[in-house]
Chains A and B, each alone.
Chain A
Amino acid sequence: MSKTVKKQPPKTHRKGERDLRFTTISDMPIEALYGPGDPPDFNPDRNLGQPGQYPFTRGIHENMYRGRVWTMRQFAGFGTASDTNNRYKYLLEHGTTGLSVAFDLPTLMGVDSDHPLALGEVGKEGVAIDTLADMETLFVGIPLEQISTSMTINAPASVIFAMYLAVAEKQGASLSSLRGTLQNDIFKEFIAQKEWIYPPRPHLRLITDLMGFCCDQVPQWNTISISGYHIREAGSTAVQELAFTLADGIGYVQAGIHAGLDMEVFAPRLSFFFNAHSDFFEEIAKLRAARRIWARIMRERFGAKDPRAWKLRMHVQTAGCSLTAQQPVNNVARVTVQALAAVLGGTQSLHTNSMDETLCLPTEHAVRVALRTQQIIAEETGVTNTVDPLGGSYFIESLTDRVEEGAMAYIRQIDEMGGIINAIEANYPQKEIADASFHYQQQIDAKEKVMIGINRHTGGDDTRPEVLTIGPEAEEDQLQRLRETRRNRDQAALDRALANLKAAARGEDNTMPHILDAVRAYGTVGEISDALKEIFGSYQETSVF
């Protein structure tokens, strides 16, 4: 399908212009000037509304950052639970206002640190968590009642969440007081991030079980963070990121309704996670369009009555894929512009990437600069003084409409295919993204799109910053801990819990209470996932390129 309506480029340069075509980073053509009459049929009441009111184009709060600035939430995790616990305490000391846990690949894939596929990966890209014992260490000295925690975990999300709840119980916290977010977005795993355990449908069952459990017992928890971030990192355009993310959201709402849950209760706990790439205005337009489309989907399409179900709340992270290993200090400038776009787009929470992330996990110094970047935007620049400062701009409103039109065309296409699961099984989003990513790489090679330090301005200082390395000790320590935990636990209690879990998975009972029992008995992420795999099977992708 056509991604955007592309106007024919002029055959010659317009007088005085340096290029034939002016386009966004996603290749959307941009006019020389926007003015009265742009966008056509502009109706502020219908298209914008008031901030804090339907359709929330101008933001989900009436006073936005005059009330409270966004949550500065830096994603962190590496090595063992104890290493990461130290980093959290460092971040909290320096003014971070929410925790965000990065897990290592074995944990993300639901395998234990001693699994053959985990070789060389333990603690490398995030923290290694095998059992409740690791989770207890991760949050030593951090009262879970007083902090909100985001956990980037998808395929084994129920198991990791159960561990978090079990730690909270041990700290004496009430589950109803806990605040935080699970990513728990399996659709984007199949589309872009590629960390799954079971086929899509059983994964969706686990998600609706978790949603139902939270409705009853952990009502302040955001059960899914529906993520465009990874879709964009996999090479999509801005419009594709928006479209596939919202189509995923529609899929979760449909699944919740199908599972018999009350939409008015579960829908307000769905949140979103977008990328902030380098095309400043396109990103602002994307975030504004996201709120407007979601509000309309929830109110008009699903008929939600509670305005909280109409509000798209978002976390944003600056674009890792835009950063360069060449001249890495330049990344600070990129991150600043991207973070500013996220703020002008009205985000609720923000992660700014560190300058060294193309080389390694961030060092403390790099992470501090990234956090300071947010603090400078919040406290020095004055952009927080007024709500949606760009609202009503001829250009921004035109671009917001264009992004919306492009995304809606995709959403209609996916509806016609019978919904997002069918689309995923047909490799549709995967193929669209692979095409966009190849097209962009060709444009970079042809220097039609510029990356400073890669295809232009490549000379000069290229000194490498200090690099954080995770030594093999982390893997050895983790294997040792895992062996000890297995030796010291009550195996009979675990076996009972796993048998009950399998019975629930075979039938229709909610799996969450049984996962919690298995976790309390110090079952590992791998053991619990394998038990469910016996019932649910596993998944092998047909790769398209």
Chain B
Amino acid sequence: MNPERKIRLLVGKVGLDGHDRGAKVIARALRDGGFEVIYTGLHQTPEMVVQTAIQEDVDALCLSILSGAHMTLFPRVIELLRAQQAGDIKILGGGIIPDDDIPRLKEAGVLEIFTPGATLTSIVQFVRDNVPPRHLEETHVQGD
């Protein structure tokens, strides 16, 4: 594996929530920021998003939730990823998420939550600083 390869990101919408303005803006900003970006489209189940994340071999999964269902959906996605030995895929979140819920989501395994007002540049920078390519440490050793 080439350590210089681009970081791959899956931007996803889970559940019935159709608010995709943020997800699309973020997807475009991340693509312009030099990442490879895949967008799931709308109305995905946690199972579908996790399946795509694994198949596409992404380094991080960025979920946008504006429906109020975040306390159910984030933990479910993390649980499914771990069950498929893909718990090292980083989870980022965004949307209408009350402050009080953020510590609990981080405890559950979400790396960072971006709420309204976060700038595109700050999000791109965060990914650059905190999302390393997967596999390098654990699966690929010398001669790579």
- Could you list which residues of chain A lie within 8 angstroms of chain B, going by C-beta atoms? 105-106, 108-109, 111, 116-121, 124-125, 189, 193-195, 233-235, 321, 324-326, 358-361, 434, 437-438, 441-442, 444-445, 451, 453-455, 464, 467, 470, 540-545
Contacts and interface: CB of A to CB of B under 8 A. Distances in A.
A437 B24 CA distance: 9
Q: What 7 A-B pairs have minimum CB-CB distances, sorted nearest first? A: A120-B72, A194-B18, A120-B69, A545-B24, A124-B68, A105-B16, A543-B41
Contacts of B29: 438, 441
Interface string B119-142: 111000000000000000000000
Given A119-B76, A545-B25, A545-B39, 19 more contacts: A105-B17, A116-B45, A117-B45, A119-B69, A119-B73, A121-B15, A121-B17, A121-B68, A189-B18, A195-B16, A234-B21, A325-B115, A360-B68, A434-B24, A438-B28, A441-B25, A445-B121, A541-B41, A543-B42
Interface in B1-43: 15-21, 23-25, 27-29, 31, 39, 41-43
Contacts of A441: 25, 29, 120
Contacts, number: 108
Given A233-B21, A360-B98, A545-B28, A111 B116 contact: no
Contacts of B25: 235, 434, 437-438, 441, 545
B67 to A, nearest CB: 6
Interface of B: 15-21, 23-25, 27-29, 31, 39, 41-43, 45, 67-69, 71-73, 76, 96, 98-100, 115-117, 119-121
Contacts of B96: 325, 358-359
B116 A464 contact: no
Contact of B73 (A109, A120, A324, A543): A120
B72 A543 contact: no
A437 B20 contact: no
B21 A118 contact: no
A324 B116 CA distance: 7
Contacts of A454: 116-117
Which of B20, B41, B67: most chain A Cβ within 10 A?
B20
B104 to A, nearest CB: 13
Contacts of B45: 116-117
Nearest to B100: A467
Contact of A109 (B16, B100, B119): B16
A117 B15 contact: yes
Given A117-B15, A119-B15, A543-B41, A445 B120 contact: yes
A368 B41 CA distance: 37
